[in-house]
Amino acid sequence: MKSTLLRQVARASATPVRAPTFTAATRVPFSQTEKTATHPPHARNFSNGAVLKEKAPKDDADHNKHDQYSTSGKPGAFKHEGQHSRTDNRIKVEYPEEDNLPASKPVQGRGGFHFKRTLASFSLEGRVGVVTGGARGLGLVMSQALVVSGADVAIVDLNKDEAARQAEGLMKHFREENPGAENIPKVTAHYADVSSPESVNAAIAEIVADHGKIDNLVTSAGFTENFDAIQYPFDRMQKLWGVNVNGTYLFAIGVAKHLMERKAPGSVVFIGSMSGSIVNVPQPQAPYNAAKAAVRHLASSLAVEWAHAGIRVNCISPGYMLTALTKKILDDNPELANKWTSLIPQGKMGRPEDLMGAVTFLCSDASGYVTGADLRVDGGYTVT
């Protein structure tokens, strides 16, 4: 055994060692490798990631015309460049003064007894809901949604007379559609300048005195204006921010404080806008877009901060809604209707009643595990 091992070692030591056959690669342009095969077939060319040059098309003129659509083309080579994705500073819409705002009406045919089965968790019976900006437009219809779903409602508005008229109208409408009903929802009207802490606190105290508690809050008070950013008067921008952002924040913390003092759960629904996620065209409205982006993220932030107390905070972001005020704007700017609907996958603007289900869901126990969400009701606008 030992002698055999010695013979194998001797044979191995007598075998000459072959030098490595590695051949250093020389960089050969790709165009040359196509034309020649003079380099050895076994030698591989190594690349450091250089982009390979494509063959030039036979018709260079036909090929180059497509370059005009790229960044190598001359800016403004075509009239259509960016025309569907830019703002137009010629469009200017100033929010009307309170006396000039068009009145709204409750939605007809909503609120009567029905026999279609649905989850009991969608009911708001025994709850008290507060809706800011509830005397008109989206706020009025969402107030009606809460009433239809069984809640008592406090309508808060800068125009208390209009709020009182709408509160009476909602109760009358409920009686007409529910003849013989024993429990008629209580709907009250309250004044508040939502941008003022003192006014907000006074309104919340008045609502608690009238209803005994608050369970739900819907912050619908807000407005938009269309100005080129450079030309937008700063005082008007401050007013817009004060109503849309400060007003949302002030009412939210006021109601949350009330709920925490009661050690009661609750649901807060901010009314944002798809404008908080995209840039609307062609109308310029940079401050409004920023304000609604703030509202959307405020909902997420407060959802986390108040989760321990059982207070859910969510946001609804509507798309273009055909309110009475929107109709007035379209009367003055008829070209906007075609522009807007051309950018909506469903091809139509929404109606205020399209928000009734969304707000009821987020206020009810049906959304008990939903908080910090942004529910976009926009016909698909923000997903394209």
User: CA 220, 252, 156, 210: dihedral to nearest 10 degrees?
Assistant: 150
Residue 245 · residue 294 · CB < 8 Å = yes
Active site residue 273: yes
Closest CA to 267 of 182, 133, 183, 359: 359
Measured N-to-C along each axis, helices 286-306 and 234-241 cross at an angle, to the nearest 10 degrees, of 30
Neighbouring-strand partners of residue 226:
93
Residue 124 · residue 360 · CB < 8 Å = yes
Quote the DSSP letter at residue 188.
E
Residues in contact with 35: Cβ distance below 8 Å, sequence separation at least 6, in sequence order: none
Rg value, the chain, Cα:
33
Separation between Cα atoms, residue 211 and residue 319, nearest integer Å: 33
- Count Cβ atoms below 10 Å from residue 321 Cβ, excluding itself: 20
Q: Which of 220, 292, 364, 367 is catalytic?
A: 292
Residue 315 · residue 373 · CB < 8 Å = yes
Q: Which of 149, 273, 364, 367 is catalytic?
A: 273
Quote the DSSP letter at residue 81.
T
Separation between Cα atoms, residue 256 and residue 130, nearest integer Å: 12
3-state secondary structure of 247: helix
Measured N-to-C along each axis, helices 247-262 and 286-306 cross at an angle, to the nearest 10 degrees, of 10
Active site residue 191: no
How far CA 186 is from CA of 42, 127, 207, 215, in Å, comes to 90, 11, 12, 14
Residue the block writes with tokens 């608050």: 214
Q: Which of 232, 249, 288, 320 is catalytic?
A: 288
Query: From start to end of the chain, where are the E strands?
Result: 128-132, 152-157, 187-191, 216-219, 266-271, 311-318, 374-377
Neighbouring-strand partners of residue 152:
128
- Count Cβ atoms below 10 Å from residue 104 Cβ, excluding itself: 20
Active site residue 292: yes
Q: Which residues are the active-site residues?
A: 273, 288, 292
